[in-house]
Chains A and B, each alone.
Chain A
Amino acid sequence: MKRFTRMAGRLCRLVSIVSVLLLSQHALAAGTDAGTTVANQAQVDYDVGGAPQTFILSDPSGNSVPGAGSGALTTDFVVDNRVDFTLVESGLLTHTDVTPGETDAFIQFTLTNTGNSTQDWRLVFTSLTSADPDVDGLADTDVDMSNIRVFVDNDADGLEIGTDLDFVDELPEDGSVDIYIVADAAVTLVNGDVANMDIEAITADSGGVGALGADTTDDFGSADTAGVDVVFAEGGALGDGRLNAQDGFTVSSASLTITKTSTLISDPFNNTTNPKAIPGAVVEYVVTVANGGAQDATNVIVSDTLSADIDLVSDAFGTDEVVIDNDGTVTNCTEEADADVCEFTAGALTVGVAAPAAGLDVLAGTTMTVTFRVTIL
């Protein structure tokens, strides 16, 4: 018997080691799985009158029958469901820039299941207002994005608009999933507009693959030792199984302002000395285009239809009629329809002709001036 026990002990230790190794494979940060039965049993060895007696195993209601076959039960409890998770802004950790008219712009969040059970999460988004706290240091300007949708990358293959589900599906312990709010920016939005968004994740029961379970409820009061109860512990405190996170969109666009000034250059009698605006006098116009926005303006075209009382001065600047100063880069061009960006036809001056020339770009924060001269008829 002794030998058998020793042998069994050795074999069991080996089995135990293997079990421990196997167990540690899924004994992750989230802890012991909900539903696990934890069993415990004490053994008492003793002598009577100097003679060793057969050991006695403990039982929840007491046992006095010696030996392993006494039928004594282990003292058990069932591990309950500790609902715990985090929800944070992810991807771009600042606001996402959108241009007016842009479709399918997105902000990103990550939900991580730090509890000990597979769960679903229902998602609810809200467009915030200027009355809400700032998000990423930016105040909402009381504009909203349109066509707002939620997609969850449950299959971990990136955002698939229109295909991904709009809830967190069967997220296992220690699993993370990316959540996207996808929206369109109306063309009416202007540079500097901020649309802040809130997303709320509400813990739901595991509803099977592809199906959202019912909201998980705290069964406090009906807790028992044998069943799986629910404890909301998100954020490390007793809670309600709900967490919120915020992110937002910033409208980034070009913002052009245009001004025109005139200066008398000369008249036929006074020449350049104190000239008067009389027929034959030469006037210089400067059209200024300033981009005060955050984005470059491309294909800028400046058109100026001259009054019938004035006419463009030919060869005002050497052999050219127009001087373009684009943020310090000066180019001249001619009134003829040729390879440059200027053309004067039927009393209208057009600067920014794109073909065969390259069109004009006014970069964010820069200014372009167009200078030309006319004669008073």
Chain B
Amino acid sequence: MKNLLCFLVLAGSVFAAPLASAQESGHLNVKTVVQKEEVITDAQGQVQKRLVDAAKVVPGDEVVYTVTFRNISSEPAENVVITNPLPEEMSYVEGSAFGPGAEILFSVDGSHFAYPAELIVTENGAQRPAVADDFTHIRWVMTSEINAGAQGLARFRARLN
């Protein structure tokens, strides 16, 4: 997040001028929603889970981030990669990243992406395997192209520190 915000600030002056006037659509429409899982017991006494607005979120609570992307063009989009920096205040919930047709990679520095087992963290001069708490970014690499009109989804859970 920091990287991106910072990038925005630094890059804004370069990008803003040409793009502000253009505002032309790209090929994809990208949306992120934040929700909370609510456990309810229905009239039949069945326990059900549903996603609701993240209205009440206090430290220790988990939220669900869902990124949806839809190809609004007439051409297929190839090599689609979704990168989501984890908010500073949140910790990734281990094993929660999900995305149909995607290979899911993680990063502890925002530049090197790999499977969790391959990530190493250097702490006080010593190296150790990375844990969920260390992840700074999540990346979904779509294994096939997104055809015109098709939609994809990337989802993960994070816990508020």
Residues of A within 8 A of B (CB): 1, 4-5, 8-9, 11-13, 15-16, 19-20, 23, 27, 30-32, 34, 36, 38-50, 53-54, 56-70, 72, 75-82, 116, 220, 223-225, 229, 231, 233
Contacts and interface: CB of A to CB of B under 8 A. Distances in A.
Interface of B: 1-8, 10-12, 14-16, 19-20, 23-34, 53-60, 63, 65, 67-69, 72-73, 75-90, 109-111, 146, 154, 160-161
B55 A224 contact: yes
Contacts of B110: 9, 13, 16
- The residue among B14, B32, B53, B76 with the most chain A CB atoms within 10 A of its own CB is B32
Contacts of A38: 57, 87, 89-90, 160
B160 A65 contact: no
B26 A66 contact: yes
5 contacts: A15-B6, A30-B59, A47-B77, A50-B78, A61-B31
A79 B57 CA distance: 6
A12 B137 CA distance: 15
A103 to B, nearest CB: 44
Contacts of B24: 65-66
Contact of B160 (A32, A64, A233): A32
Contacts of B146: 46
Nearest to A173: B59
B55 A229 contact: yes
Top 5 A-B residue pairs of the complex, sorted by shortest distance between their CB atoms: A31-B59, A82-B58, A12-B6, A223-B55, A58-B32
Contact of A69 (B2, B12, B65): B12
A142 B24 CA distance: 82
Contacts of A224: 55
Given A40-B87, A42-B32, A8 B10 contact: yes
Contact of B31 (A59, A65, A220): A59
Nearest to B141: A45
Label chain B's interface by main secondary structure.
mixed
A48 B75 contact: yes
A9 B28 contact: no
Contacts of B59: 30-32, 79, 82, 116
Contacts of B2: 12, 15-16, 19-20
A225 B78 contact: no
Contacts of A50: 78
Contacts of A60: 31-33
Contact of A68 (B7, B23, B72, B78): B7
A131 to B, nearest CB: 38
A41 B12 CA distance: 16
A64 B29 contact: yes
A337 to B, nearest CB: 79
A53 B25 CA distance: 12
Contacts of A16: 2-3, 6, 110
Contacts of B15: 67-69
A40 B85 CA distance: 7
Contacts of A61: 31
Contact of A45 (B1, B8, B80): B80
A21 to B, nearest CB: 12
A363 to B, nearest CB: 57
B1 to A, nearest CB: 6
A51 B1 CA distance: 27
A66 B59 CA distance: 34
B69 A31 contact: no
A231 B56 contact: yes
B88 to A, nearest CB: 6
B82 to A, nearest CB: 5
Given A45-B83, A48-B78, A79-B59, 8 more contacts: A5-B11, A31-B58, A40-B32, A40-B85, A42-B30, A63-B30, A77-B57, A80-B58
A79 B58 contact: yes
Contact of A59 (B8, B30, B34, B82): B30
Nearest to A29: B59
Nearest to B31: A62
B161 A64 contact: no
B112 to A, nearest CB: 12
Contacts of A11: 6, 10
Nearest to A18: B2
Given A42-B82, A75-B34, A223 B28 contact: no
A38 B65 CA distance: 12
Contacts of A70: 19, 23
A68 to B, nearest CB: 5
Nearest to A82: B58
A9 B161 contact: no
